[in-house]
Amino acid sequence: MSDHLVQHLLRRAGFGSSPEELAFYSQLSYGSAVDALLNYEQFADDVDSRIGTPGYAGVTSAGEFLPNSNIAHARQRWAFRMVHSKRPLQEKMTLFWHNHFATGYTKVRGVSPDGARLMAAKASEDAGGQQGQIEMLRSRALGNFRDLLTEVSKDPAMTIWLDGYTNTKNKPQENFAREIMELFTMGVGNYTESDVYAGAKVFTGWTFTTSGDRQGGTGTTSFAFNANQHDTSAKTFSFSIYPDGGKTIQPRSAQSGMQDGLDLITALAGNPNTARYLAKKLIRFFVSELSEPDPGLVNTLANTYLASGYSMKLVMRELLMSSQFTDTAAYFSRYAWPVEFVARAIKEVGWAGYSLNDAVTALGNMGQVLYEPPDVAGWDLGPNWFSSGTMLARMNLGSTLAANQKFNLRDAARPYGKTSDALLSWMLDRMPLAPYNSGTYDELRNFLNATKWTGSDSQLLVKASGLAHIILATPQYQFV
C-alpha cells in the first residue's frame, strides 16, 4: 500500500509513523495493517521496559522515575508510549476514552492523597496493586462498551471526579447521573431534568473504600456499594430501561440495590441514541471533522455497535475499513490535538537525546495536559485548539525539537544534500503536509536558497534544522 495511505492510517489509528513503522506497515495489505492495529495483543506490551534505554526518547526526573505515583512522571510515560508503543491503536483509543470519560487529576488529588495512583498506576508495578483509571481504560481500549461504562462508573477516580462518593439517599448528588447521560452515552436532548434526578437516586451508595497506607503507596482504593446509603424507592425515566419497554426501576432491597445502577448502565449502553452518539464521536475523531458525519456511516457503525453487543473492536474495524476513512479527502481532515502534533513531530523529526519532559511542558502551553482535561466534557476540540498563543507554542515546540535534533538531522540529511530541492523533497516525504499551494512551496525553496547552496555540513546543520522548524510551524502541519 502507498506511503500516503500508511501515513494517514497511522496518524489516525496511532500517533504518526516513524521511518521504521512506515517500513513495517507498508509491506502489508491495507486489511492486514488494520487487523494488526486492531489485534494488538499479538504485539508484546513491553513499551514501558524501554524507558531509559538507548535508542528511545528520554524522560527527566529529579530522583527516581515514578510513573505510577508521580503525575509529572506519568505524563512522560504516556507520551513515551504514544511515541514508541508497538500498539498504536491501543494508545489512541485510550486517549479517546480519556477525553470521553474526562477525569482531572487535580480534583482527584484533592480528595485522595494518592491521586496520581488513582489516575495512572499500573497494577503490576504498584506495591498495593492499585490500578489507575487510565490503565483501566487502556486494558479495555477496544473492549465491550457496556463493560467499560460499568468499570468507569465504579472507578474510584470517577466517583471522586463527579462526586458520586457523596451521593446518598437523603442528599442525592446529581453530578454523575447528569454526565453519564449527557456526555458518556445518549447526549444532550435525549434525557430530561427528572431523568437526572432519578439517575442520582439510582447511583446512591456507589462510592469507594480505602485500606492500608495509600500515601505510602501500599494501600488501595477500590469501589464499594454502601447499601445503607442507597435510595430504595422506584425510579422512573423518560426512556426505556428494560427490553420490554419498562421505564421504571422497581423498588428492591437496599442490599441488592446496586443492581439499579447496573440496570441503568445496561439501558444506557443499549440505547439507540448512545449508538449514534458514539458513532458520531468516533467519526469526528477518526475520519473527519470538517463535515457532519456521513449519515450512512453513522448508521453502519451504530448498527454494528448494537448488533455486536457493544464491541468497540468491531465498530473500529468497520470504521477503519470504510471508504469514508480511506478516501483521500479524509487525509489531514482533523485539527491535530496537541498530543497528536507533538508525538507525530517526534516520530518524524527524531528523538535520540530528546526528553519527553520538554514535550509535556510544551503541551501545557498548547492547552493539553494529560490526566487534566479542563472539565468533564473533555478538551475543546477542532479549531478551538488554535489561537495565536497556542500556535506560537506549537511553533516553539518545533524550534526546541529541531534544535535538539540539529546534528541528527544534519547526519540524516547528508545523502539528500546535493541539491536544495532534494533536501526539500526528502523532508516533505518524511513530514507530509496538508495540501498547500505553489506560493508555500516557493517560500520553502527560497528559505533553502537564500544563500548559495553548497550542501556542506555547516550549511546542512542550519538548513535541515531550520527547514524542520518551519515545516512544523506551517498551518498545514497542524492537521492529521
Partner 1 sequence: MKLSRRAFMQGGVAAFTYSFAAPSFLCRLAEAQGQTSRSLVVLDLTGGNDSLSMLIPYNDSYYYSRRPTLAVPAGNVLQIGSDASGVQLGLHPRLTGIKDIFNQGRLAFIQRTGYENSSRSHFMGTDIWSTANPANAQGNGWLGRYLDSLGASQDPLVAWNTFQQTPHSLQANTVGVPSISDPARYAFNSPNTGSDAALERTTTQNIASHIPVGQPHVAFVCGVAGDAMATLDRVATVATYSPTVSYPTNGLGSALKAVAGAMNKGIGTKVFWVQLGGFDTHSNQQVVQNNGAYMNLMAALNDGLLAFYNDLSNQGLLSQALILQFSEFGRRVSENGSGGTDHGAASTLFVLGGGVRGGVYGTAANLNMSDSANPTLENNGNDLKFETDFRSVYARVIDNWLGGDSVAALGADYRKSSLTFV
Residues numbered 52-111 forming contacts with partner 1, rule: CB under 8 A = 111
Q: Is 455 in the site for partner 1 (CB under 8 A)?
A: no
Distance CA 39, CA 313 (A): 9
167 binds partner 1 (CB under 8 A): yes
Minimum Å gap between C-beta 422 and partner 1 is: 19
479 sits near partner 1 (criterion: CB under 8 A):
yes
Taking the C-alpha atoms of residue 158 and residue 162, their distance in angstroms, rounded to an integer, is 6
Least gap, CB of 403 to partner 1 (angstroms): 3
Name which of 66 and 434 has its Cβ closer to partner 1.
434
Contact call for residue 425 and partner 1 (CB under 8 A): no
Amino acid 281 reads: K
Residue 390 found at the interface with partner 1 (CB under 8 A): yes
Q: Which amino acid is at 121?
A: A
By CB under 8 A, residue 469 contacts partner 1:
yes
242 or 441: CB nearest partner 1: 441
Query: Which residues in 228-247 contact partner 1 (CB under 8 A)?
Result: none
Which residue reads 422497581 in cell numbers? 250
Number of residues binding to partner 1, judged by CB under 8 A: 72
Q: Taking contact as CB under 8 A, which single stretch among the options 18-26, 138-146, 161-169, 256-264 is the one that binds partner 1?
A: 161-169
Choose which of 113, 246, 455, 466 interacts with partner 1 (CB under 8 A): 466
Out of 144, 210, 400, 408, point to the residue binding partner 1 (CB under 8 A): 400
Q: Could you tell me the smallest distance in angstroms from the CB atom of residue 1 to partner 1?
A: 25
Closer CB to partner 1, 100 or 317, in the complex = 100
Q: Could you give the CA distance from residue 390 to residue 380 in angstroms, rounded to a whole number?
A: 13
Give whichever of 290 and 314 is closer to partner 1, judged by the CB atom.
Answer: 290
213, 219 Cβ separation under 8 angstroms: yes
Query: CA of 129: how far to CAs of 71, 72, 126, 209, 222, in Å?
Result: 17, 20, 5, 15, 11
41 or 380, CB closer to partner 1? 380
- Closer Cβ to partner 1, 234 or 403, answer by number: 403
Of 355-384, binders to partner 1 (CB under 8 A) are 365-367, 374-377, 380-384
Q: Please, which residues have CB within 8 angstroms of residue 390's CB and are 6 or more apart in sequence?
A: 338, 365, 366, 367
DSSP SS3 for 421: helix
CB 368 within 8 A of CB 338: yes
Say if residues 172 and 200 touch (Cβ distance below 8 Å).
Answer: yes
Residues in 168-197 at the binding interface with partner 1, rule: CB under 8 A:
168, 170-175, 178, 182, 188, 193, 196
Site residues (CB under 8 A) for partner 1, limited to 312-331? none
Q: By C-beta, is 38 or 393 nearer to partner 1?
A: 393
**307 counts as binding partner 1 under rule CB under 8 A:** no
Residue 68: name the closest of 108, 115, 121 by CA: 121
Q: CB under 8 Å, gap of 24 or more: what pairs does 379-387 form? A: 379/99, 379/102, 379/337, 381/284, 381/289, 381/335, 381/337, 382/289, 382/335, 383/335, 385/335, 385/336, 385/337, 385/338, 386/335, 386/478
Q: What residues between 262 and 291 interact with partner 1 by CB under 8 A?
A: 289-291
Which residue, 7 or 478, is less far from partner 1 as judged by CB? 478
Stretch that binds partner 1, among 143-151, 230-238, 316-324, 437-445 (CB under 8 A): 437-445
446 binds partner 1 (CB under 8 A): yes
* 303 near partner 1, judged by CB under 8 A: no
Asked if 410 interacts with partner 1 (CB under 8 A), we say no
**What minimum distance in Å lies between the beta carbon of 147 and partner 1?**
26
Of 138 and 178, nearer to partner 1 (C-beta) is: 178
CB of 72: closest distance to partner 1 in angstroms? 19
Please tell me the distance from the alpha carbon of residue 316 to that of residue 306, in angstroms, as a whole number: 13
Closest separation in Å from C-beta 289 to partner 1: 7
How many CB atoms sit inside 10 A of residue 402's CB? 23
Contact between 434 and partner 1 by CB under 8 A: the answer reads yes
Q: Does 465 contact partner 1 by CB under 8 A?
A: yes
Cell of 82: 504514544
What is the end-to-end Cα distance of the chain in Å, rounded? Answer: 19
Q: Give the separation between CA 25 and CA 21, rounded to whole angstroms.
A: 6
Residue 16, sorted as left (phi over 0), alpha (psi -120 to 50) or beta, turns out to be: left
- Binding residue for partner 1, selected from 391, 414, 453, 455, defined by CB under 8 A: 391
Q: Which are the contacts of 47, defined by CB distance < 8 A and separation ≥ 6?
A: 80, 81, 84, 85, 86, 87
| Residues ≥6 apart with Cβ < 8 Å to 109 | 71, 115, 116
